[in-house]
Amino acid sequence: MSQIRVTVWGENVHEKKHKVVADIYPKGMHTAIADALAQDAEIKPRTATLDQPEHGLTEKILAETDVLTWWGHAAHGEVKDEIVDRVQRRVLEGMGLIVLHSGHHAKVFKRLMGTTCDLKWREAGERERLWVCNPGHPIAQGIGECLELPNTEMYGEPFGIPTPDENVFISWFEGGEVFRSGCTWKRGNGKIFYFRPGHETYPIYHNAGVQQVLRNAVKWCRPEGGKYAAGCPNIPIEKAKEKIKVTTKVTVH
Ligand code: ZN
């Protein structure tokens, strides 16, 4: 099987502004994520950032992307709507999309969900346990019964998303809240996975379990082929599968 071409998109704003984030991710979160994905020979990652022309997501790059991962937080509003349109179209065509942490409020995610994607949050360095809801799910392979993170930002329910096709993880936080931390959907031909951990001031993307989930998710999200409905073509009578005539007289029963 050919390699899965992944574009790891990073806003790359906190890394340049905050020393604590730069110390954890000297080459940016996007590079740390790409390096984690590259540990699997089946995955071929590249990176793209907000400050690049067309946010690094040109038509050509997206056409060559099987799975896109998205981390954003401080600059959701700076993402151009035409790029959001482009990403949405590629997802409908079959590109996989993995939305990370504060990407819950990314324009791309909100567009694809069609809901507020709002949630509760608290920054107190709490312990988090991501419980595996379905040990048979491909994204949960190698994780065991739960993934424990010593210090995280809390995200709590209610989470304003459409009901997921599947909840792969549910998180518990030290303060008592819970959250649907790993959710899947399908939009058009594209598979979407939202994965909660990833606050910039904790070394979340250096965690081996988190890295394993990301690699599993890329494989789960890979396109499955086939064309999604595009356009509304008229099929003339002479091209109907069966020979038919135009009926003008309507029979009333
Ligand atoms: Zn955060």
- pLDDT tens-digit map of 52-106: 999 999 999 999 999 999 999 999 999 999 999 999 999 999 999 999 999 999 9
pLDDT of residue 248: 80
pLDDT at 90: 98
Whether the predicted pLDDT of 148 surpasses 80: yes
What distance in angstroms lies between residue 100's CA and the mean position of ligand 1's atoms? Answer: 10
180-223, pLDDT tens digit by residue? 999 999 999 999 999 999 999 999 999 999 999 999 999 999 99
Residue 243: the pLDDT is: 95
Task: Please state the rounded mean pLDDT for residues 152-178.
Answer: 98
Q: How far is the CA of 105 from the centre of ligand 1 (A)?
A: 11
Three-state SS letters, the chain: CCCEEEEEEECCCHHHHCHHHHHHCCCCHHHHHHHHHHCCCCEEEEEEECCCHHHHCCHHHHHCCCEEEEECCCCHHHCCHHHHHHHHHHHHHCCEEEEEHHHHHCHHHHHHHCCCCCCEEEEEEEEEEEEECCCCCHHHCCCCCEEEEEEEEEEECCCCCCCCCEEEEEEEECCCCEEEEEEEEEECCEEEEEECCCCCCCCHHHCHHHHHHHHHHHHHHCCCCCCCCCCCCCCCHHHCCCCCCCCCCCCCC
Determine the residue type at 115: T
Q: Which residue has the higher pLDDT, 250 or 41?
A: 41
Q: How far is the CA of 202 from the centre of ligand 1 (A)?
A: 9
CATH number given to 4-116+180-239 = 3.40.50.880
User: Where residue 251 falls among pLDDT bands split at 50, 70, 90?
Assistant: confident
List the end-to-end C-alpha distance of the chain, in Å, as a whole number: 57
Phi, psi of 246 (to 5 degrees): -70, 130
The CA 107 to ligand 1 mean position distance, Å, reads 16
How many C-beta neighbours within 10 Å does residue 9 have? 31
Length of the chain, please? 253
Mean pLDDT across the stretch 25-47?
98
As a whole number, mean pLDDT of residues 144-173 equals 98
pLDDT grade, residue 249 (50/70/90)?
Answer: confident
CA of 155 to the centre of ligand 1 (A): 9
Ligand 1 center to 154 CA (angstroms): 8
Q: Considering the chain, what is the average pLDDT of its residues? A: 97
pLDDT value for 252:
77
Indicate the residue type of 235: I
**What span, in angstroms and rounded, lies between the C-alpha atoms of 76 and 96?**
20
**Which among 221, 213, 216 has a CA at the least distance from the CA of 191?**
221
Query: What is the predicted pLDDT for the residue at 250?
Result: 76
The rounded Å distance from CA 74 to ligand 1 centre is: 10
Q: What is the mean pLDDT of residues 115-140?
A: 98
